[in-house]
Structure 1
């Protein structure tokens, strides 16, 4: 069943952190959970894992009510919080053994997650001697020890260098085949690389819940064009679907349109009407990062 949230709200005193949130995540989905700082993402994840109680509404993981049965839910859930809590004076295997005893996992399972998360090269080290990337691997290995059906990851790639980021991304993709993954991140490339659906929070409200493919269609079209002479800004005003015009230099312009339809033909007609030639024209799609900023800035 995955995750089900119904009319969930959370108050901290007079401050409302979550406002009547409802959504459903089916088993096997990889969800990108986005929002600016203070949007309520971490609060939602803590409620889903049983660390916080909602003020109103309810949440279910694999059909189990989180508020009524938090221990049962935690047995089905793997959680990597934003600030990965590790005992730095422990060796990797020692730390995993400590958690395996809590979950009553076998030593064989410890070896399986070590291999799955690529910890073998550093297995003889204490956690305090590990790089940020390997510390995140230890956190993910801990979350995977009891073979959970749902994996909740809060900013798993924050602070990683480009190589470490790719390694953790590949690791998450490799374990997504048979698990529901709820992934909070500020890195838009991670969402595009790993997620099938996107939830976007802003100021405690859920403002977007759509498949990633649908968001790709909603993003604006951007065309950068260079003419052989300058054109007055008024000449662009009659272009259909035009959102904005940015003059880069005397003859170069960056045009933004709110349509998927190729606007190259319209720009060609514009050049003829102004008795000039197009020296270059390049088309791009608005990035997910631009789309995110646009919808969360209002």
Structure 2
């Protein structure tokens, strides 16, 4: 499976929601589309899912226009809209028939999908009695019911309480083992937990497309934080003379040490401290978090 988004632009009156956006998604990937609220994430998701049309550009799945390949797409909106008076089984049967799935196939697949999303035993419960997390799991069930090549999720956990959020995150973790996923979110911890690759969008424009490892490595400052005791203050002068140390910042008993190469020099610095019998209270690496980098990119 290969999804190609080529130079997609979408405007609403005079407002540009998505500006010349391009990306690719390969089979087996779980990609996070991340950006602040209003960045254009939901618009891109709806264009990919063929819910709205772009003003220009195209979306291709396996070389075909997305409008011809809707059977291969599973879509989970941010707020799944179900009829509260229907049961879970009736909801999936209704959704399945709308998707053109034969009734005899639905009879077999609905119990299987309810088990997969953790709703076994709830097939005859009315949706109006479901918690937010259960409704979201039912939403994932309807998105997977027709066995799509990939599933598109728009802010799948942003409206949930902590328990519902954890339930759905665990479910997505299971689903991604055998389903390709594009996940939009502004909750960075969720993206970091689920996704191997990130596409960052700001004001409708793609500003990054990278892996978390590459992003963190690129923004590493090569700084080591060391906290020592009062008796070890003379060691600071030793540090300053080390050939691989670029800069030393001292705040009380805490030392920030900028080195040439964090991977090679951290062990050398630690060995030097032990050789000088330094009483180390704390020793850690000062790398930017994903949130730090994200704020730098989008603010």
Deviations 1:84-105 (A, max 9, x none): 2222222111111111111233
Alignment of 1:215-294 (within 5 A): 215-220=215-220, 223-229=224-230, 247=251, 250-252=252-254, 260-261=262-263, 264=266, 279-284=280-285, 285-294=287-296
Per-residue deviation at 1:142? 0.8
Q: Report which stretch shifted further, 137-146 or 258-267.
A: 258-267
- Counterpart of 1:75? 71
User: Deviations for 1:84-143, whole angstroms, at most 9, x for unmatched residues?
Assistant: 222222211111111111123321111111111111143332112111111110100011
Residue of structure 2 in register with 1:192 after alignment: 192
How many equivalent residue pairs? 285
Alpha-carbon offset, residue 5 of structure 1: 1.0
Q: Secondary structure of the equivalent of 1:107? A: helix
What is the TM-score of this pair, normalised by structure 1? 0.82
CA distance in 2, matches of 1:161, 1:256: 41
Superposed CA deviations along residues 136-192 of structure 1, whole A, max 9, x for unmatched, are 101000111111112000111223344433332222222223322101122323223
Q: Which moved more, 1:27-36 or 1:119-128?
A: 119-128
Are 2:81 and 1:85 aligned? Answer: yes
Which residue of the partner structure matches residue 152 of structure 1? 152
Secondary structure of 2:97 counterpart: helix
Counting only pairs closer than 5 Å after superposition, residues 33-48 of structure 1 correspond to structure 2 as 33-48=33-48
Question: In 1, distance between residues paired with 2:117 and 2:172?
Answer: 9
2:64 equivalent to 1:64: yes
Report what 2:6 is aligned to.
Answer: 6
Aligned residue for 2:176, secondary structure, equals: helix
Q: Deviations over 1:247-268 (max 9, x none)?
A: 5xx4335678896446547977
Is 2:115 the partner of 1:115? Answer: yes
Whether the aligned pair in 1 keeps the contact of 2:75 and 2:153 (CA below 8 Å) is yes
What pairs with 1:205-216 in structure 2 (closer than 5 Å)?
205-216=205-216
Tell which deviates more after alignment, 262-271 or 99-108: 262-271
Return the alpha-carbon distance in structure 2 between the equivalents of residues 41 and 205 of structure 1: 10
How many Å separate the matches in 2 of 1:86 and 1:75?
20
Q: Secondary structure at the match of 1:167?
A: helix
Q: Distance in 2 between matches of 1:241 and 1:29?
A: 40
Contact 1:49-1:73 within 8 A present in 2 as well: no
Counterparts of 2:162 and 2:151, CA distance in 1: 23
Distance 2:298 2:209 in 1: 14
Query: How many Å apart are 1:4 and its aligned residue?
Result: 0.2
Partner Cα distance (1:165, 1:62) in 2 = 33
Shift of 1:270: 11
What is the Cα deviation at residue 16 of structure 1?
1.4
TM-score by length of 2: 0.82
Query: C-alpha root-mean-square deviation of aligned residues, in Å?
Result: 3.2
| Further displaced range: 171-180 or 128-137 | 171-180
Gaps of 5+ in 2: none
Structure 1: tracts of 5 or more residues without a match = none
